[in-house]
Homo-oligomer: A and B are copies of this chain.
Amino acid sequence: METYKKIIEDIYLELKNVDDIGKVANYIPELGNVNDKNFGIHITTIDKNSFGIGDHEKKFSIQSISKILSLTLAYKLEGEALWDRVDVEPSGNPFNSLQQLESDKGIPRNPFINAGAIVISDILVGHFKNPKEDFLSFCKGISNNPTLNYSEKVAQSEKKTGFRNKALCNFIKSFGNIKNDTEKVLDFYFHMCSLRMSCKDLSEIFLYLADDNFLCQKGKRILTESQAKRINAIMLTCGFYDESGEFAFRVGLPGKSGVGGGIVAIHPDKFCITVWSPKLNVKGNSYKGMLFLEKFTSKTESSIF
């Protein structure tokens, strides 16, 4: 941990005042209100050591990072049957594209593009009586973190403006791959994306993807070892939309970004690290976050390749 700590501090200082050419996401109006100077990092190793710096304890809208959690719960419930309804291939297209759905007959390319996460939401809405409450309990239980919660403001903000996601959901339903009422599915989806966590929260909650022997608060495994590996694989190939190849190439870790500016990255058997910086590059991923992680894996030689 001492090596990580020193390297993180150095890169943090180096990047803190770097000219950030990214832009804060504003397609969800509420997201535009964040202070774009926020910059935090937190790492947690599988032996539960941890270190953070900067705004690592401030909560922010984790947005698409939550798609790992909903995928985890759906995978746990459905097992491999899950993959009949969503594929595991990189899309080669932006996160909210409708094009491939037309040729793929409503089967989304992977669970991390919006289309895929909406199908996963449909699965959870079909499983639970109170999907929002039950999903939140599941999340809280993983890392024994009672502070997790939705941002009703952000959820409502996206509900009002999320016409592209409404289009996706209805489009998939026209192919029969949404089973529940679209309003319910989208209400769940928008809430799920509005989850608020800090870098610290995130680097703790995703330890189950780094640690083969991870047990949640109740002493139970979250996923089988094979399932955890497979989610890591999907994160590596699909975690950054049409910049997934670039992240694998430059950083070399399974990861997932959100338009709130957060990035989570996993080193299997070692650690989970999270960076937060709200300004996004043109592909919708945190500009400074990617830069930080590239320098970090390079200096620590912790690419999985």
Taking the nearest CB of chain B, how far is it from the CB of A66, in angstroms? 21
Report the interface size class on chain A. 35 or more
Say yes or no: A163 contacts B174, CB within 8 Å. Answer: yes
Question: What is the predominant secondary structure among interface residues of chain A facing chain B?
Answer: helix
- 1/0 per residue, CB under 8 A from B, across A89-130: the answer is 111110001111010000001100000000000000000000
Taking the nearest CB of chain B, how far is it from the CB of A201, in angstroms? 23
Say yes or no: A305 contacts B229, CB within 8 Å. Answer: yes
Find A252's partner among B91, B97, B229, B244 (CB 8 Å cutoff). B229
Q: Determine the residue in chain B with the shortest Cβ distance to A27.
A: B174
Given contacts A167-B167, A174-B167, contact A234 B249 (CB under 8 A): yes
Taking the nearest CB of chain B, how far is it from the CB of A159, in angstroms? 12
Chain A residues with CB under 8 Å of chain B are 87-93, 97-100, 102, 109-110, 163-164, 166-171, 173-174, 182, 226, 228-230, 232-234, 236-238, 242-246, 248-249, 252, 254, 268, 298, 303-305
Shortest Cβ-Cβ A-B pairs, 10 listed: A92-B92, A90-B90, A167-B171, A232-B305, A89-B245, A163-B174, A167-B170, A166-B170, A229-B305, A164-B174
